[in-house]
Amino acid sequence: MSLFNLRLSEVHNRLHHRDLSVAELVEASLARIGETDGDIGAFLTLDEAGARAQAKALDDAAGPERGLLFGLPAGIKDNIVTEGLRTTCASQFLSNYDPIYDATVVQKLKDAQSVTVGKLNMDEFAMGGSNENSSFHVTRNPWDKDRVPGGSSGGSAASVAAGQVYFSLGSDTGGSIRQPAAYCGIVGLKPTYGLVSRYGLVAFASSLDQIGPLTKNVEDAAYVLQAIAGHDPRDTTSANVSIPDYASALTGDAKGLKIGVPKEYLGEGIDPQVKARVMEALRVFESMGAVWEEISLPHTDYAIATYYLLASSEASSNLARFDGVRYGVRADNPDNLLELYKRSRSEGFGPEVKRRIMLGTYALSSGYYDAYYKKAQQVRTLIKRDFDQAFEKYDLIIGPTAPTTAFRIGEQVGDPLTMYLNDICTIPVSLAGVPAISVPCGLADGLPVGLQIIGKPFDESTVLRAAHAYEGQTEHHQLRPALT
């Protein structure tokens, strides 16, 4: 674990000066996975041969060009396609799918010369908040193996928290990077919608999905974001904006920042200990010269219903491509084409995916479109307007990432509505399309609590600046689970 407690910049220095080889680093990662993943279950596909081959090639390469991600073992969420490396979305439907191309973010990591060691477990097609919806196995929280790691990027968070990889990539639709980061005591960044290419991300809800990094600290998150951000002509929703030097924002200074704290994020349903950790964090910002005051985001109460109507509607459309004809698993010996569709989808999709397809199809159906989907789009505009108005006065909005700490495995799996409410603090941010980061802000009954720092569109620099300054005044990010 000692190597994996170092910052990316510290490992980079060792690699750059050849005090450490990439092969040694990769072997340490594979050894750690071997020691811990039997209990954690973070990985779905481990590419040991490929990782060792990448390591050898990097060690053998001549030249001084070694970026900050050079040689670092990384894990990729299993809904981000990787050429020749199985990508299942944790679904039986894609249990035999080996992509023939790389997602843009994967290619960018290759360009940065990091090493992909494998694909990480998730809720099937990114639909869930606990990782219990994977059709292969449940991932466990390294802090308490009887608890969930969060979802849908639960494997991505657990692998970083367990010290298996230096960083991982996840995807966030309604909180699926930030919530598992909070549950696992690490840093998770959801960039502004459009900042990071979605090309090669298997779509759940196209107007919400966004890829981002999960890391041990804020500095590492800045470096990984630097590598994966940028315009991509292959993604029609990719924003053509200039990419700043995110590391230059890590000044350790929060003086003068104006922070809004939504009363809706600290009201009913928020665990008292979670609220206490957030209030302690706000006092830290005060001590650094920032100012904060309570604000209101009045349409927050409508966010859950709005999100699940919109996301399910988009999922219904996106998942129509899985028909058992072009790729993925197909039913054996169907009598006709219609039976092929029915049986392939019935056998391939799990219960949560079916639930959301049915909800979305209903919301888009004739006679209900205006009452549900159109109305949800209108409310989404109001939610975004709440954020726009708040950011006219404040630099940042801060609150808890999740209303509670990680819950026990099996505790909510039979109650999808309660499960959905775990995303009450993250979903409004996704609907607004603005950036947010979750950073550790302490423990409650021995489990990590996440602080969510929300910024203006494409102002990741200020989000990272504030998170880094807070991190510099605390030691919460240095806490590690007591894995044997």
Active-site residues, by number, are 77, 152, 176
- Is residue 351 left, alpha or beta, with left meaning phi > 0 and alpha meaning psi from -120 to 50? alpha
Q: How many CA atoms lie within 13 A of 472 on its CB side?
A: 15
Amino acid at 404: T
67 within 8 A of 112, measured Cβ to Cβ: yes
Query: How crowded is residue 233: how many other Cβ atoms within 10 Å of its Cβ?
Result: 9
The number of beta carbons lying within 10 Å of the beta carbon of residue 386 is 22
CB atoms within 10 A of CB 101: 13
The DSSP line for 138-201 is ---BTTBTTB---SSSHHHHHHHHTTSSSEEEEEESSSTTHHHHHHHTSEEEEPPTTSB--TTB
* Omega cis (within 30) before 152: yes
> What radius of gyration, in Å, describes the C-alpha atoms of the chain?
21
Q: Which two tokens stand for residue 79?
A: 């809904």
Chain centroid offset of residue 244 CA: 22
Dihedral, CA atoms, 237, 242, 243, 249, nearest 10 degrees? -130
C-alpha torsion 89→92→94→97, nearest 10 = 110
